[in-house]
Chain A
Amino acid sequence: MAHAHAQASAHSHAHVHEHKKRYTGIMDWLTTVDHKKIGILYLGAGLVFFLIAGLEAVFVRLQLMYPMNNVLSAQQFNEMITMHGTTMLFLAALPILYGFFNFIVPLQIGARDVAFPFLNSLGFWTFVFGGILLNLGFFTGSLPDAGWTAYPPLSTMYSPGEGMDLYSIGLQLSGIGTLLGGINFIVTIVNMRAPGMTMMRMPLFTWTCFVMSILIVFAFSAFAVGLLMLTFDRIFGGNFFNPTTGGNVILWQHIFWIFGHPEVYILILPAFGILSEVIPTFSRKRLFGYTSMVFATAIIGFLGFMVWAHHMFTVGMGAVANTLFSIATMLIAVPTGIKIFNWIFTMWKGQITFNTANLFATGFIPSFTMGGVTGVMLAIAAADYQFQDSYFVVAHFHYVIVGGTVHGIFAAFFYWFPKMFGRKLNETLGKIMFWLFLIGFHMTFFVQHWLGLIGMPRRVYTYLDGQPGWNEMNFVSSVGALLMSVAVILLLINVIITMRKPADAEGDAWGDGRTLEWAIASPPPEYNFKQVPLVRGLDPWWLEKRAGRKEMTPAEPVGPIHMPNGSILPLIMSIGLFIAGLGIMYSQTIVAVLGFGVLIVCMVIRSLVDDPGYHIDPEELDSKGVKA
């Protein structure tokens, strides 16, 4: 960035302003390339999908509340579980985490934006339109129904209607968005760190973003290929997974899980990162064992790619493969255990404040550990023959995803809300929400361990009456789900109430902030840092505060700041892809060509028309007019 200044100072004032394109209102949000605004967009869109997927889960639990219940038909039930799983993983959890990454990571490394702001916007809009495409089935009447795992031939020859086409093309689109985001984060973290911010001084949240992005690039590429093959099989008469013409259905299972297992770590690593920020802040202590935390993160990321076949122990790979994948899976418990103990010892001899953010962060530890230990149990191949595809598995992965990722997300939401919106969420409502959610969560999922052990397979739309324990435990589970829903409604009310209050949060909103984002105003100005800060160690803002300073030591003089222009092109490109997707789905070649045409025209415009961006002048920096 610094190199632009000299050149910019040579320009006259008026000349600089000629290039400045600032939209307001809705157009501002549609065209923004500001990482903070895109972060908020990700959060908002993720939240909407989270509510939809949560509602789908409520329907699933209502259907299973009583034996032989009739809330949903078998077909509707299969559609609900498929949409619940797919939406939660691809359109809710991941985008919400992307929201936090987008907003926080550039601030934490002392950057003014991500490496590719235009790409960032494109990634967001492709994700949104992929999500819309996936959910189109609610309007056309045919939803995906073969489970989020979409095993062929159930997902190909035995799933008539366009439901599974929506799955393959919708996820392809949103997957492109996710991939673009992953690449962007990697480049940003490698290239745009402030002076002094070495890799081993990066906050853990940034580290987990980095490792997660690498996982995304490898895992989502594999998935994109798998989805393409699925699309070919369904729409163009391909035979990849068609057993009658020599295809192999187990090929899909391998492709799916070599993506699907890292996906689990893609979701949990950021939650680890969030904990590693929230717990030190509210214990007023630095993270215990920072180096081992970094290595544990990297090792988990690496091992995450070595264990996919533990989802396939019963498919018949033989004892050698099963035991190898079994041992590899068990190994993941070691770095994960290191993290658990490091968090506990971060709090040891600290001064812990239990506000809502920290309640969710500390509540994560016991809940997630319970999910972790059942993970080790599931890793034991011969025992897994009993667990596989039973409710025990459902209990396990909800313990790690809800007890882990969702707890982490809520902790992050309460923790960074003042940074993002300049207001602290209501603590009383927050604490009620935490306890409701925690109790509801354990009610819903703890009994499911037992349901699995007494023989309840997963993904059953109903169960027969008169099986000892089934009715009672399923009822308890459903009531728990309703409690969790109430907790989420409380969160919405909390957000609405809070947003009506004045934005008066301090820069260092919690008083004990350690990382760079707390060194600047809440919410930060659009250029983030007036002067790029000089980083002198881990927890740079904490260090400066301890040294008695009120702000970061700058690493550059005050000068004009080069900013990228907003652009409507990413939105139009995504709409083009969306139209092309529809065209492919319904085999309308002209529509597909039109859609891709829109995309290509936009790419040509983007390539040929120079967009030098604009500069914010030093005088302007002092006035409050440029706040984001």
Chain B
Amino acid sequence: MVNRWMKRLVPFMAMMLFLLTGCDYELAGVLSPKGPVAERQLELILLSLGVMILVLIVVFVLFFTVIVRFRRKPGQDEIPEQIEGNHKLEVTWTVIPILLLTILAIPMVVVTFNLEDEAQAFETEDALLIKVTGKQFWWEFEYPAQGIVTAQEVYIPVGEKVVFQLTASDVQHSFWVPELGGKKDTNVGNRNINYLYLEAEYPGVYKGKCAELCGQGHALMDFKVHAVERAEFDAWVKNMLTPATVTADVEKGAELFDNTCLTCHAVDPGQLSVGPNLNGFADRAYIGGFIENNADNLAQWIKDPLSMKPGVTMPGFQNSLTEEEINEIVKYLQSLN
């Protein structure tokens, strides 16, 4: 697996490379791996980058030497020697690239097979399986063993293997959490179902994205991965399985919600629905995956979601519900913890 020195070298080299761009930003995305998968992939990237920079240096040195040294000087009229070629040189620049590619190919084969094996491990080993369904333009997460369905924000325990089972219900999407590891496509039609192994080494909230053009809302089809300690994860599961109590002040909103929104949405823990399951909505940081979750934004979303996220399939309710009714629903949603 990962050598100790590599573990230190990788972030260091990534940092050095980033310095080359002259920016002092915090590392993010692929360059800031937060789990073993992303780490191994970054190692591959840096190894190949290293070899390629070597190649670039050779080419650049030769190139600039040539274009400086062999410019035509004034009065230079004799005909230069017409050199046909040079077998030794030509063999050299055929063989060396092959050697360099072999250096890259071996770890590539190893890592590619390992990642694939580990994604299949959920069948025999103890890995958390989460079913992911990509939909225009949001993500549904189902925990079959726990009996939980949620959307947009997925919780995983730190330091444990997680296998995501990927499908899509409408068009092709691609499931990507740069800090945890590379992506895989969510294919439509319940065939070519993909399994993606990811693991978080450190607790944190990691940005997830759709990487395959899927329509108007593609750019904003964000989700979040909450990596939490096991105890916290268990607590979250328990909380999700306990229906929120409907207190007197949100009763009106609950009724309106049941009559209007339940057509598409759901709030029961394990229920799949056309729109996102809103169980535990009050604990979500974002509406629609990227808009801050507060009462104003939520009311605006219910009135006219298209104005906030292009292409969403949810209709706007500014004409069918009164301002007051919308506020009641907002209040109810914010009580769903």
Contact = CB atoms under 8 A, between A and B. Distances in A.
Given A327-B108, A344-B59, 12 more contacts: A75-B216, A250-B192, A285-B81, A288-B84, A323-B108, A327-B109, A331-B101, A341-B89, A376-B101, A382-B115, A385-B182, A386-B41
A55 B119 CA distance: 44
A322 interface: yes
Interface in A507-547: 546
Contacts of A75: 216, 310-311
5 contacts: A74-B216, A250-B192, A383-B41, A383-B48, A454-B31
A565 interface: no
A382 B117 CA distance: 13
A351 B81 CA distance: 10
A464 B18 CA distance: 22
A580 B93 CA distance: 53
A357 to B, nearest CB: 14
Given A75-B310, A382-B41, A344 B63 contact: yes
Nearest to B32: A454
A468 interface: yes
B112 A326 contact: yes
Interface string A112-124: 0000000000000
Interface residues of B, number: 95
Contacts of A284: 72, 79-80
B48 A376 contact: yes
Interface stretch (A151-159, A429-437, A488-496, A593-601): A151-159
Contacts of B115: 319, 382, 385
B209 interface: yes
B307 to A, nearest CB: 11
Interface string B77-90: 00111111110011
Contacts of A506: none
Contacts of B101: 330-331, 333-334, 376
A554 B321 CA distance: 89
B104 interface: yes
B17 to A, nearest CB: 9
Contact of A73 (B60, B80, B310): B310
Contacts, number: 293
Nearest to A467: B28
Most chain A CB within 10 A, of B30, B73, B207, B214, is at B30
A453 B83 contact: no
B94 interface: yes
A348 interface: yes
Interface in A84-125: none
A20 interface: no
B52 interface: yes
A349 B193 CA distance: 58
A365 interface: yes
Contacts of B189: 243-244, 247-249
Interface string B161-205: 000000000111010101101111101111111100000000000
Interface string B113-128: 1011100000000000
Interface in B200-246: 207, 209-220
A237 B195 CA distance: 32
A333 B217 CA distance: 37
A508 B192 CA distance: 60
A351 B112 contact: no
Contacts of B194: 315-316
Contacts of A5: none
B218 A461 contact: yes
Contacts of A388: 174, 182-183, 211
B8 interface: no
A323 B28 CA distance: 28
Which 8 residue pairs are nearest across A and B when measured between Cβ atoms? Answer: A385-B182, A243-B189, A455-B29, A460-B219, A74-B310, A351-B72, A373-B52, A319-B116
A344 B28 contact: no
B54 to A, nearest CB: 10
A73 B220 CA distance: 13
B90 A377 contact: no
A369 interface: yes
A53 interface: no
A525 B38 CA distance: 63
A233 B167 CA distance: 22
Contacts of A409: none
Contact of A382 (B82, B93, B112): B112
B56 A369 contact: yes
Contact of A243 (B49, B117, B188): B188
Interface string A344-373: 110111111110000000100110011001
Nearest to B58: A341
Interface in A320-344: 322-323, 326-327, 330-331, 333-334, 337-338, 340-342, 344
A154 B172 contact: yes
Contacts of B85: 288-292, 342
Given A316-B187, A351-B72, A380 B212 contact: no
A250 B190 CA distance: 12
A389 B216 CA distance: 16
A153 B188 CA distance: 8
A347 B66 contact: yes
Contacts of B136: 158
Interface string A448-460: 0010111101111
Interface string A276-292: 00000001111011111
Contacts of B15: none
A390 interface: yes
Interface in A137-187: 146-147, 149, 151, 153-154, 158
A455 B182 contact: no
Contact of A333 (B38, B73, B97): B97
